[in-house]
Structures are given as structure tokens and as C-alpha cells.
Structure 1
Amino acid sequence: MSGLDPDARAWLEATGFSVDDEAMWRAALTHGSMGEKRDYERLEFLGDRVLGLSIAHWLFEQSEAPEGKLAQRLNAIVSREMCATVARGIGLSDHIRISKQARADGGRDSDNILGDVMESLLGAQFIDNGFEEARKLVHLLWRPALESGAGESKHPKSALQEWAAGCRRKPPEYEVIDRSGPDHAAKFTVRVKVHKVGEAEATAGSKGEAEKAAAKAFMEKYA
């Protein structure tokens, strides 16, 4: 059987997808545990790129932020967790074709599976309807994430890590350069460096807090 379940087709169309090639859309909803010749993996590969370009273009058009901050937001908005959140919001779980064993193992509510299938549907939308229609659907489904400011506020170390990656730099390097005071009231000074960018220092009552403060200082200075 290569056709798409009528309930799944009705759900897809009600959500905003435009279905033509039913066999492809069936594959887009099919987990590898079903043992069928076609599953969602190849479409997910394509959909991941469709999503990334759609969101990157949106962020570029909507913001004058520098590259590092755009990359930070992009990474948050296209993350597996965000894809799974969008998938849950549209009720995707009920329509995934998955084996009984994988379902019993919690596959229908797995962030990985939900995120992958969400991307595979975007890949199918792109193939059946072209990039512009796929982009419009991304804007529709991801609008709450974009408007919520996802990716704008992060732990300073995470933000710096993503900023460095977005600027194609090596990961930040943290070093304790001074420790002073008694054990019950120690002070740690940490220096953080990003290769070919610069460095920043901060002092706090623990190594972790000093690293956090140094990352924040670095972002304020260079990002």
C-alpha cells in the first residue's frame, strides 16, 4: 500500500500542507521501525535545510543584529527541541507511522522522532510545492517561536559557545588565573578567550560563577 491514510491527509491539509504525491507524504510520516522501503530520513535531511534557510532569511530581514546574535537565535529556533515543540502544537504525534515496539518505548513523544518527522514534512512540502510555499508554512508554524524571542536570552556560557560557532571560531577556552581568600570565602578569577577575537576576565565566589561572568563580559565587549 503506497497511499496516504485519509485522516492523515485531512490533518496535513488542515495544518497548511499541500498534498500531491501521497506516497511521498506517507514516507514523510513513516518511522524506520516500520521496516518499509521508504521512511522519513531522506526527507528530513532536505527539510532541515528548508527550515534553516527559511528562518535565517526571516531573521536577516527582521533584525539588524550582527552575525553572532543571528546565529544564536537561528540555532535556538531550528533546534530539535523547538521542532518537537512545533510538532506537538499541531498534533503530529497521532499521525506518525511507527511500530508497536517503538511506540511502547515512547517513540511518539520522543523529541528526536517528533523533530525529525517535522522536518521531513517540510521536505515533502518543498518537493511538492516549491520553496516559497514551504517558507510560508515555516513562517506560519514557527511564528510563536520567533515572536517569543527564542534564543535571545541564554546562559552566558551557552550564548558565547553559540556565538563562537556562528562566527566560525574555535570554542571558548576558560582558565582560572587567580584564586584568593580562605576556603569559606574564596575568590576565583577566570579568563575566557576566543581565538582571533579576544578575551575577558571576571571574578566571583566560585569557578562556575566566574566563568559565567567572564562569558557575559566577553559578549558585552565583542558580540
Structure 2
Amino acid sequence: MKLSADLKAFEDRIGYHFARPELLVRALTHGSVSSPTRADNQRLEFLGDRVLGLVMAEALLKHDTSASEGQLAPRFNALVRKEACAEVAREIDLGAVLKLGRSEMLSGGRRKQALLGDAMEAVIAAVYRDAGFDVARDMVLRLWGRRITTVEADARDAKTVLQEWAQARGLQPPKYSQVRRSGPDHAPEFTIEAQLSTGEAARATAGSKRQAEQSAAKALLEKVGGAD
């Protein structure tokens, strides 16, 4: 198989050229454009998630030889979660080479966090299948770069931090409520409000309830000075 110019450019961006280019094509094929003769990237995504996890676990242990499991776990989660994968995918412009069905393209699929994160994991698996773990690890470490050494020592998610901040002050756990849902069914937008029992509140909008809640919690932490 001969790759198109845009896929060759993508190989340059990830720093790896495939011996079996069909693996790269599959990694970039979303289910919306798959067919009986054209497999999507779901199985590669499943594998890539595990490869990424092992790479990050090893890297964190090497970086901080004295950290406890309790310290390592939140750092690990911060590095492997879908948001982190999507962030790396944006940096290498993965969205530009995603193979999507018409409906996904029209709904902004090339910018969707879930699609980008899934495809990033699939690309990792494709490299692993093509060249083995060592090469896949080298690519991941290169693409994740300083994230590994600068990940916050306490990388808990914003909702957890906000809840612990409230409890430490004798407050009730924060409440989250959906203020608005907009957009078409295939590309919804959720506006969530996070509120403390003191009445302090903050809102955020995102393409999923989970992300909107996280963003609202972060905004509320910054508002009350609990993000320091």
C-alpha cells in the first residue's frame, strides 16, 4: 500500500514511518466510515490504551523512584486519560488525517475530543503492531514529552479536588446541575453549574457532561481560591 502525501506528512509528525502502512490507515479509520472490507480503529484503540498505560507506568516509576502508589496513581490517570490523548493528537494535527463519515465531518468530528483521543491510542497500537514495544514507547515518550516530568505531583481531577476542598471546610459536597443542553443529537453541548453549599457557583460548557462538570469544578476552584 502506498500512502498519500498527507499521511506521509503525518508519519513525519509522529517520527515513525510504517513498514505496513495499512496499519496506519486502519488506526485513522473511524467507525462512521468503516465497511465489511474496511476495518475501523476500535480494536487498535483497545490495544493502544494498554500500551500507553504500560509506557506511562514505567516512565513514572523511573522519573520518581520514591513516589508511593497513592502519589503515582493520579499522575498516571492524568497522563493516560482521553483528554491528554486528545491534546497530543491536536499537537500533531491528527484530526486532519482522520477518515470520517460525512455526518461526523459535518458535526466537527475532526475536533472532537473523544474521536481524537481514540485515534491517538489506535496510532500507538499501530506502531506497536508494526515495530514492537520499544519503538512504540519511544514514540509515546517523544510525543508526551515534558508532560511526564511536569505532571502535577497531585494530579487529581478537579471534581475530586473541589470536593476535598469543601469537606476540609465543613461544607457539603458540591452539587452539579445541568443548566442547558444545546446543539444537535450528534454533537450536543452541555452547560453544567457547580455549586457549593455557601452559594458560590461557576458554569462551564463542553461536548460531554463529564468534561463540563470537570471544567465547572475547575472554574469554581479558581473562583474560591482552592486551585492554588
Closer, same or farther: CA 126–155 of 1 in aligned 2, 3 Å: closer
When the two structures are superposed, what TM-score results if normalisation uses the length of structure 2? Answer: 0.67
What letter corresponds to residue 141 of structure 1 in structure 2? L
Q: Give the greater-gyration-radius structure (CA).
A: 1
**Residues 157 and 34 (structure 1 numbering): CA distance in 2 closer, same or farther, change over 3 Å?**
closer
Q: CA deviation at 1:90?
A: 0.9
Matches of 2:62 and 2:93, distance apart in 1: 30
Q: Which moved more, 1:6-15 or 1:138-147?
A: 6-15
Question: What is the 5 A alignment of 1:4-19?
Answer: 4-19=3-18
Q: Once the 2 structures are TM-superposed, how far is the Cα of residue 156 of structure 1 from its aligned partner?
A: 7.8
Correspondence for 1:137: 139
Contact 1:3 1:26 (C-alpha < 8 Å) held by counterparts:
no
Aligned to 1:194: none
**RMSD (Å), alpha carbons:** 2.7
Deviations 1:165-198 (CA, angstroms, capped at 9, x unpaired): xxxxxxxxx9xxxxxxxxxxxxxx96xxxxxxxx
3-state SS of paired residue (2:40): coil
Offset of 1:107 from its aligned partner?
A: 0.8
Change (3 A) 1:58 1:78: same
Equivalent residue letter for 1:127: R
1:14 Cα offset (Å): 3.8
1:208 and 2:173 matched: yes
Which one of the candidate residues 101, 119, 122 is aligned to 1:120? Answer: 122
Q: Give the corresponding residue for 1:53.
A: 54
Q: Kindly provide the amino acid, as one letter, of the partner of residue 10 in structure 1.
A: A
Structure 2: state its 5+ residue gaps: 175-195, 198-228
How far 1:106 moved relative to its partner?
1.5
Structure 2 residue 7 is the aligned partner of structure 1 residue 42: no
Per the normalisation by structure 1, the TM-score is 0.69
Percent of aligned positions that are identical: 37
**Cα contact 1:18–1:128 (8 A) shared by 2:** no
Q: 1:148 and 1:8, CA in 2 relative to 1: closer, same or farther beyond 3 A?
A: same
CA-to-aligned-CA distance 1:89-116 (integer Å, 9 cap, x gap)? 1111111111121111121111100000
Which whole-Å CA distance do the structure 1 matches of 2:3 and 2:31 have between them?
A: 17
Partner of 2:102: 100
> How far did residue 203 of structure 1 move?
4.6
The aligned residue for residue 63 of structure 2 is 62
